[in-house]
Amino acid sequence: MKRHIDEDLSAVRQTLLTMGGLCEEMIHFAVKLLNSYDEGLMRRLQDDEERVNRLHIELDELCLRTLALHQPAAGDLRVVAAALKINSDLERIGDQAVNIGETSAYLAKQPPMRLGDIPRMAELASGMLKDALDSFTRGDVELANSVIRRDDEEDRLKSQTFNELVALMQADSSTIQRGLDHILVSRNLERIADHATNVAEDVVFMVLGKDIRHGGGHPVA
Amino acid sequence: MKRHIDEDLSAVRQTLLTMGGLCEEMIHFAVKLLNSYDEGLMRRLQDDEERVNRLHIELDELCLRTLALHQPAAGDLRVVAAALKINSDLERIGDQAVNIGETSAYLAKQPPMRLGDIPRMAELASGMLKDALDSFTRGDVELANSVIRRDDEEDRLKSQTFNELVALMQADSSTIQRGLDHILVSRNLERIADHATNVAEDVVFMVLGKDIRHGGGHPVA
């Protein structure tokens, strides 16, 4: 039998996935801008951000309405609580993508410099977000755990990028401004991966009712 | 008449404020470490982080239990939803303070360099967090709005710090490593101010039922 709450839960899921899809597109645009800056593409990135911001507010409203109208329990309650948290992470992923786009505008005015591990970091972060969203859709704990495990590799690439760029800047001071911009981009990508990891942790919690953050396997009511 | 839910709501508020107090202490420790690194103080910062991480999990549990047991409506529901969100921001403020402590350990091994606007950024961010927490306690929308307004000044100081440090690094390449570390610290402080701003926005929403994020004055059910 279809329950009244199912319609609202389905709207919650759908809005979250629409937002997630936009965030994936934003990362894709941001990396394209880094390779070759283009005003038109930057505007599309900004348009996506506005849509994500609107959905951010809409999704919170939907979650609160679902809680108020249906007073969900157990698994349903955890879906809504997870959606409230994932919502914040997705909105912040969008912000990071816009930051990369803005830095790309500065970089485009300077002589080119090789991107090093940045494309690899972008690919990894983007794959983590995609899989975190898929794990939400399918309630797939194994996939969510694989996202969480990949975050160490992103951190390793970030440190490697940092060290390489510092060495380059020290060897040739004309690269300082560009080097810094690349460091900022690598931090943006690391934060996207962190947010994807948060999403995956929320999915594990949603499915198992277990809070695995901070290294715990703490059961949650 | 005292309602059953009031006890749980009071535990939610109390846990949130305990966590917030620890975060304020962590920022204080982090800035002290930046001025003069000390292993013992670094351990106290790390101990605080562990306590914040435990409270992070506890507060989520409390919020979910309150939702499940009492099915709160209207204002009570908004308090719990705000606490769920503020919880994430506080935990991330703690992470940023630890990052500053870790960078301080690197900086302590290098020749000293003037901190420029960083102490001012720290004071501003710390005051924003304190006032955001006070606005939560008192349901004070005016105070919350004043926190939100102060975020522009933090952004201005961050950009100024960035430009000054880039100029210094370009003039004297022996300052590159230290300059970068200072830039990272200023980003950490900027993020603390951002999280304090998020807390203040959640307080406005909690009190008025209005979502003011993304420049909106959108009423929320």
Q: What percent of chain A has pLDDT over 70?
A: 96
pLDDT in tens, A95-111: 999 999 999 999 999 99
- Nearest by CB: B73 against A68, A173, A218: A68
Q: Residues with Cβ < 8 Å from B56, sequence gap 6 or more?
A: A213, A214, B19, B87, B88, B90, B91
Please tell me the predicted confidence (pLDDT) of residue A214. Answer: 77
Please tell me the predicted confidence (pLDDT) of residue B1. Answer: 62
Please tell me the predicted confidence (pLDDT) of residue A219. Answer: 46
CATH code (residue B84): 1.20.58.220
Q: A193 to each of A21, A51, A152, how far by Cα in Å?
A: 15, 21, 10
pLDDT category, B213, cuts 50, 70, 90? confident
Please tell me the predicted confidence (pLDDT) of residue B221. Answer: 40
Q: Does A5 touch chain B (CB under 8 A)?
A: no
Who wins on pLDDT, A76 or B217?
A: A76
Q: What percent of chain B has pLDDT over 90?
A: 88
- Specify the number of domains making up chain B: 1
Say if CB B149 and CB B82 are below 8 A apart: no
pLDDT category, B43, cuts 50, 70, 90? very high
pLDDT category, B220, cuts 50, 70, 90? very low
Residue B210 predicted with pLDDT over 50: yes
Long-range contacts, A161-169 (Cβ 8 Å, 24+):
A161/A116, A161/A117, A161/A118, A161/A121, A161/A186, A162/A186, A164/A116, A164/A117, A165/A116, A166/B176, A166/B177, A166/B180, A169/B169, A169/B173, A169/B176
Top residue of A164, A173, A184 to mutate, by most chain B CBs within 10 Å, is: A173
Residue B66 predicted with pLDDT over 70: yes
**Ranges of H-type helices in A109-140:** 118-138
Residues of chain B contacting residue A173, judged by C-beta atoms under 8 Å apart: 169-170, 173, 176
Residue A212 predicted with pLDDT over 80: no
Average pLDDT of the residues in B47-52: 98
Q: Dihedral (C-alpha) A56, A57, A63, A69: value to the nearest 10 degrees?
A: -160
Containing domain of residue B34, as a range?
4-219
Q: How many CB pairs lie under 8 A apart between chains A and B?
A: 96
Instruction: Find the residue in A nearest to B50 (Cα).
Output: A214
Please tell me the predicted confidence (pLDDT) of residue B217. Answer: 58
3 state SS for A40-96: HHHHHHHHHHHHHHHHHHHHHHHHHHHHHHHCCCHHHHHHHHHHHHHHHHHHHHHHH
Q: What percent of chain A has pLDDT over 90?
A: 88
Q: Does A60 touch chain B (CB under 8 A)?
A: yes
To which H or E segment does residue B195 belong?
Answer: helix B176-208
Q: Does A220 touch chain B (CB under 8 A)?
A: yes
Please tell me the predicted confidence (pLDDT) of residue A217. Answer: 58
Residue A139 predicted with pLDDT over 80: yes
| Burial zone of B43 (CB within 10 Å; 0-12 exposed, 13-18 middle, 19+ buried) | exposed
Amino acid occupying residue B7: E
Average pLDDT of the residues in A217-221: 48
Q: What is the mean pLDDT of chain B?
A: 93
Residue B99 predicted with pLDDT over 80: yes
Q: What percent of chain B has pLDDT over 70?
A: 96
Interface of A with B in 63-82 (CB under 8 A): 63-65, 67-68, 71, 73-74, 77-78, 81
Q: Give chain B's radius of gyration (CA, Å).
A: 19
Partners of A219 in the β-ladder: A210
Please tell me the predicted confidence (pLDDT) of residue A44. Answer: 98
